[in-house]
Each structure stands twice: as C-alpha cells, then as structure tokens.
C-alpha cells in the first residue's frame, strides 16, 4: 500500500486506504460543521445522518430485511457472549453451542452463567482443524438457539454453509466477527448475527448486532440495560452515547464496499487472495503447513507453521523487514498467521507468497 507496509494483523486490522484518506479529510472539520465527528452531539443532525446512512448501507450490502434490527453496540463481541443468552433464553433454558475453536469455546463458557448450554460438537480433540458435517451435530430438540462462530480467527476454520436448528422454535446465532461482510450471507436464515467491527469493517469499539425483531422482547430480568436488545433497538442504538467515531468509520467502509461492487465482488476477491496463499502453502513440499482441513479453510485468517519450527521467528522478522508486518500467530497457538481481510490488497498476498518462496529457497 501507499503507507509502505502490508499489515497482516488479525484485528484491529488494516483498513482501506480510501477510507482512511476520506476520514483524514473530514477529521478536522466534518463537512463544514466546524467540528469533528468526535466532538459533536450524538443526537445532532450530523451524527444522525452518519448512523442512519451506516445502517442503510449495511442493509443494502447484506440485503437485510426490515424483519431485523441493526444495532451498533459496545463492549466487543465478548459482551455478546453474555447478551445472547440474556436476551434469547431464560436462565434455566438449554441452548446448543458448536465449538470449533477458541472463540466459540469462550462464547459457550460465558453463556453458562446465563442459561444451560450444551456443547453439541467440539473440534478440540482434533486441535480445532475441522467443522463437523451437520448431521453429526447432536442438537437438543429443546434448545432455544444454536450458536456457532462463522470464522475462528485463531484457528482459521470457517463455515462455508450453515447448520439448520432442528427445533422449530430454535434459532441460529452466529459470531461473524472475523468474516463479517467478507461474503454474502442469507440473513433471513438467522435469528441473530453479531460481529466486532475491528477486523473487516472498522475500528474496535463498535459491535454490530443484526437480530430478528420478534426475538428481542423477552430478556431476562437481570439483563443490564446496555445489553438489552429491545432497549437498544427502541432507542436506535442511542440509549446512551454510542461509539460515534467508530460508527462513522464503519459507515465509510460500507460505502466503500458498495462502491467496489458490493459483497459478491468482495467475496470473489477474497477467494482469489486466499487461493493463492493456500496454494503456496500446499505447493511448498511440506516446508509450510496449514493444519486446517481443506474444505473449511478460512478466507480471512490463514494460520500456518514451518516444518522446521525453529525458522518461524526468522521468517516473521525477515517478513517485517520487507514490510509485511503482524504475521505472528496468536499467542495461544504460535506459528504464523496471515490475516487477509477485505482491505488487504491482492498485491499484499502476492508479495507474501513471493517472500515465502524466496525464504524457502534460502533455507534448503
Ligand atoms: N469472536 C471472534 C471470532 C473474534 O475474532 C474475537 C476477537 N478477536 C472475538 C469474538 C472477541 O472480540 P472482542 O475483542 O471485540 O470482544
């Protein structure tokens, strides 16, 4: 990119150049108001325009119908681990969790405080390299919802299609933090989708919740006001002061994604980027290894190791010298992780692949 680095961070992550430049041009004096977005009332006309446009652009981008609320909340995706059971079930009611990595495991553990969750499938014994075929998931017919993580940011496993909750009243809930807006999703198949913004769509500080309207009226009495979807929806995400600047940036990203041809075009670019990176790993005669089963490899986070693990540190250091930064794997799993969200250009991935080939040639 023009800033001289390719940033492979997992989140907060690289944002589109055009968005940053637009934000820069509007930072000091937003559209002649004499104020920045950070300095103005969240109830004034400028911010009203910003949040409404962000919502309507997101609705266009993902074809979200009026049956759903779109909320801009705080507390990160981690707060949704609690908000989901607090809003969707009673404290003694069961809910099903598919555990495909660290994040869905965290969601399950947090939900234990607020409902009676069951792990209906876990990939832990296979080091979170797989996603089950949906017929082996032992769903509880009484579960209030079925929860999964659409893309495990640390382990690099991604759902390519979605399970159907078995119980008629049961609803599908997904944490899409790390693949939100990376490909089309049929929102109508879900009861609730949530996503921290700081991977694909903006800065940290805002979490997007898309929730079916008919599901939000019956939260548990202990639900903190900030976590109550009905209250947030009735107040158009302005019950209290929202993360105004973060919402503004998300709005610029949604606008940019629409300008780029919408979500289908985004998906095609992401598939191409992921394809050349996985091909480089698989074509390295075992020098680089991606442990994830091929059919469920993430198009967003590509974790890999070097067969000679003692070379990993040098690999990451040398890549950084060549201005490819933040390639270190998550501290819980080690290795290398290249996060290639929407805003990572194809040239960044091509650069990385060229470096990988060169590095291998220099370490025969
Ligand atoms: N879910 C997923 C899939 C994530 O990647 C993350 C953050 N890396 C979280 C949840 C937690 O998000 P936050 O830090 O916004 O609470």
Domains observed in the chain: 6-16+261-362 (3.90.1150.10), 18-259 (3.40.640.10)
Atom of ligand 1 nearest to the CA of 196: 15
Rounded-to-integer distance, Cα 251 and Cα 254, Å: 5
Ligand 1 centre distance from Cα of residue 77 (Å):
5
Ligand 1 centre distance from Cα of residue 224 (Å):
21
Residue of 103, 180, 199, 300 best suited for mutating to test ligand 1, as the one with most atoms within 8 Å of CB: 103
Contact 184, 267 (CB under 8 A): yes
Ligand 1 centre distance from Cα of residue 13 (Å):
12
What is the number of other CB atoms lying within 10 angstroms of the CB of residue 272?
A: 13
Atom of ligand 1 nearest to the CA of 81: 10
Ligand 1 centre distance from Cα of residue 285 (Å):
33
Catalytic residue check, 168:
no
Give the pLDDT of residue 145.
Answer: 97
Q: Of the residues 57, 96, 175, 256, which is catalytic?
A: 175
> pLDDT digit string (tens) for 152-167?
999 999 999 999 999 7
Contact 304, 290 (CB under 8 A): yes
Ligand 1 centre distance from Cα of residue 323 (Å):
26
Rounded-to-integer distance, Cα 98 and Cα 131, Å: 9
Catalytic residue check, 175:
yes
Predicted TM-score (pTM) of this structure: 0.98
Q: Of the residues 116, 144, 183, 199, which is catalytic?
A: 199
Atom of ligand 1 nearest to the CA of 153: 5
Residue of 12, 77, 299, 332 best suited for mutating to test ligand 1, as the one with most atoms within 8 Å of CB: 77
Ligand 1 centre distance from Cα of residue 209 (Å):
13
The alpha carbon torsion through 83, 181, 147, 188 (nearest 10 deg) reads 100
Question: Angle 352-355-360 (CA atoms, 0-180°, nearest 5)?
Answer: 125
Kindly give, in sequence order, each residue whose CB lies less than 8 Å from that of residue 268, ignoring residues fewer than 6 positions away.
Answer: none
Residue of 108, 194, 196, 326 best suited for mutating to test ligand 1, as the one with most atoms within 8 Å of CB: 196
> pLDDT digit string (tens) for 95-143?
999 999 999 999 999 999 999 999 999 999 999 999 999 999 999 999 9
Is residue 84 within a helix (H) or strand (E), and if so which, with residue range? helix 76-88
Tens-level pLDDT at each residue, the chain (364 residues): 578 999 999 999 999 999 999 999 999 999 999 999 999 999 999 999 999 999 999 999 999 999 999 999 999 999 999 999 999 999 999 999 999 999 999 999 999 999 999 999 999 999 999 999 999 999 999 999 999 999 999 999 999 999 999 977 789 999 999 999 999 999 999 999 999 999 999 999 999 999 999 999 999 999 999 999 999 999 999 999 999 999 999 999 999 999 999 999 999 999 999 999 999 999 999 999 999 999 999 999 999 999 999 999 999 999 999 999 999 999 999 999 999 999 999 999 999 999 999 999 999 9
Q: Is ipTM beyond 0.90?
A: yes
Partnered with residue 70 across adjacent β-strands are 210
User: Would you call 212 helix, strand, or coil by DSSP?
Assistant: strand
Angle between helices 45-62 and 244-259 in degrees, nearest 10: 40
Contact 171, 144 (CB under 8 A): yes
Residue nearest to atom 3 of ligand 1 (CA): 177
Contact 211, 191 (CB under 8 A): yes
Q: How many CA atoms lie within 13 A of 90 on its CB side?
A: 3
How far, in Å, are 40, 195, 328, 329, 337 from residue 288 at the CA level?
A: 50, 31, 14, 14, 12
Rounded-to-integer distance, Cα 130 and Cα 122, Å: 9
Residue nearest to atom 10 of ligand 1 (CA): 77
Q: Is the dihedral of CA 13, 17, 19, 21 positive or negative?
A: positive
Residues framing ligand 1 (Cβ under 6 A): 11, 76-78, 103, 149, 153, 175, 177-178, 196
Contact 244, 6 (CB under 8 A): no
Contact 73, 79 (CB under 8 A): yes
Question: Which two structure tokens, joined as six digits, stand for 273?
Answer: 């980027």
Question: Which two structure tokens, joined as six digits, stand for 8?
Answer: 């492979």
Residue of 178, 194, 204 best suited for mutating to test ligand 1, as the one with most atoms within 8 Å of CB: 178
């Amino acid at each position: 990119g023009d800033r001289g680095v390719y940033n492979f961070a997992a989140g907060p992550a690289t944002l589109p150049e055009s968005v940053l430049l637009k934000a820069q041009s509007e930072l000091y004096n937003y559209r002649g108001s004499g104020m920045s977005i950070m300095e103005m009332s969240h109830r004034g006309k400028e911010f009203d325009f910003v949040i409404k446009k962000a919502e309507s652009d997101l609705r266009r981008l993902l074809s979200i119908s009026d049956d759903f609320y779109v909320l801009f909340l705080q507390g990160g995706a981690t707060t949704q681990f609690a908000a989901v059971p607090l809003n969707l079930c009673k404290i003694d009611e069961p809910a099903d969790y598919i555990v495909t990595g660290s994040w869905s495991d965290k969601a399950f553990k947090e939900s234990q405080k607020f409902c009676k969750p069951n792990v209906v499938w876990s990939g832990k014994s296979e080091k979170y390299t797989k996603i089950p075929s949906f017929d082996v998931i032992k769903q509880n017919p009484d579960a209030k919802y079925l929860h999964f993580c659409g893309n495990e940011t640390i382990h690099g496993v991604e759902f390519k299609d979605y399970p159907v909750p078995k119980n008629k009243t049961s609803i599908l809930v997904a944490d899409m933090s790390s693949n939100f807006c990376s490909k089309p999703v049929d929102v109508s198949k879900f009861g609730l989708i949530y996503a921290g913004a700081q991977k694909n769509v903006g800065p940290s500080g805002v979490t997007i919740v898309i929730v079916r309207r008919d599901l939000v009226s019956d939260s548990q009495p202990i639900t903190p006001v900030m976590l109550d979807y009905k209250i947030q929806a009735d107040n158009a995400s302005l019950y209290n002061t929202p993360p105004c600047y973060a919402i503004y940036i998300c709005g610029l990203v949604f606008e940019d994604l629409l300008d780029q041809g919408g979500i289908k075009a985004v998906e095609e670019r992401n598939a191409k980027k992921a394809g050349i990176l996985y091909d480089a790993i698989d074509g390295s005669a075992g020098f680089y290894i991606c442990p994830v089963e091929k059919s469920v490899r993430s198009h967003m986070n590509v974790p890999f190791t070097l067969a000679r693990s003692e070379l990993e540190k040098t690999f990451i250091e040398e890549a950084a010298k060549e201005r490819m930064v933040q390639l270190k794997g998550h501290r819980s799993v080690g290795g290398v992780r290249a996060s290639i969200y929407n805003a990572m250009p194809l040239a960044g991935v091509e650069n990385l692949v060229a470096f990988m080939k060169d590095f291998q040639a220099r370490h025969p």
